Amino acid sequence: MQYRNCMSISRRSLILSLPALALARPAFAQPIPLSEISAYFNRFTTAEGAFTQINPDGSILTGTLYIRRPGRMRFEYDPPEDSLVMAGGSQVAVFDGRSNQGPNQYPLRQTPLSIILDRNVDFSRARMVTNHYQDGETTNVIAQDPDNPQYGSIRLVFSANPTELRQWIVRDDTGAETTVILDGMRFGHTLSARLFDITAETSARQR
């Protein structure tokens, strides 16, 4: 299953990538432990910030990302793009700004983003992490749903001191990759449940 394209966006690859920052870490630095990477996600409930999305066809979009763990995420694109990707109620909905039809929907569990939206993120689970390595100044973790590896994988890129997610690259079940670059993420703000309400968004767009 693939996302329907809107403004040349491959939606099925979607869901959360940052330029690697040149931090002062020695070349022989060890990767951030998986326990610390799990704790990074489990320490916050809400997050928001700007993102840049690089699609499989090379097109680039920008917007604002909202996260409310567990299970909720919203990609709100900057104008003139009027599309929206939303995760909530165990579903992912892709709203096409050029269509007056309802969103395309599929289970959140069928995207690797479900890994970081779980109530309890645990990268120590058997067969979840397929690679964990240091690349220059960043730690990279490649993970998949151990029960459903056919859904694709997500590569998370972190800087250290403090541990911070800089980007992710989602590879979908067709092998297409979408990169999401994060910028200035803020944590702990109150986010309305309406931001992640697929039914309410559908109704609002059909008026």
Yes or no: say if 41 and 168 are a contact pair by the CB < 8 Å rule: no
Quick: pLDDT tens for 132-158.
999 999 999 999 999 999 999 999 999
Q: Is residue 16 part of a domain?
A: no
Residue 28's pLDDT band, with cuts at 50, 70 and 90, is low
pLDDT of residue 21 exceeding 50: no
pLDDT at residue 29, as a whole number? 80
Q: Residue 81: give the domain boundaries.
A: 34-205
Q: Is residue 8 part of a domain?
A: no
Q: Is residue 2 part of a domain?
A: no
Q: How far is the C-alpha of 99 from the C-alpha of 202, rounded, in Å?
A: 12
Q: Is residue 40 part of a domain?
A: yes
Angle at 122 between CA 119 and CA 124, to 5 degrees: 165
Q: Is residue 158 part of a domain?
A: yes
Number of domains the chain is built from: 1
Write down the pTM of the prediction. Answer: 0.84
Q: Is residue 14 part of a domain?
A: no
Q: Which residues pair with 171 in a beta bridge?
A: 153, 177
How is residue 45 written in tokens?
Answer: 């409930």
Residue 17's pLDDT band, with cuts at 50, 70 and 90, is very low
Q: Is residue 154 part of a domain?
A: yes
Mean pLDDT of the chain: 88
What radius of gyration, in Å, describes the C-alpha atoms of the chain? 16
Q: What is the 3-state secondary structure (H, E, C) of 122-168?
A: CCCCCCCEEEEEEECCEEEEEECCCCCHHHCEEEEEEECCCCEEEEE
Q: Is residue 103 part of a domain?
A: yes
Residue 206's pLDDT band, with cuts at 50, 70 and 90, is confident
Question: What CATH number corresponds to the domain at position 180?
Answer: 2.50.20.10
Q: Within the chain, how many helices (H) and strands (E) appear? A: 3, 11
Q: How far is the C-alpha of 84 from the C-alpha of 97, rounded, in Å?
A: 8
Quick: pLDDT tens for 83-130.
999 999 999 999 987 777 789 999 999 999 999 999 999 999 999 999
Q: How far is the C-alpha of 148 from the C-alpha of 9, rounded, in Å?
A: 25
pLDDT at residue 205, as a whole number? 83
H/E stretch holding 179 reads strand 177-187
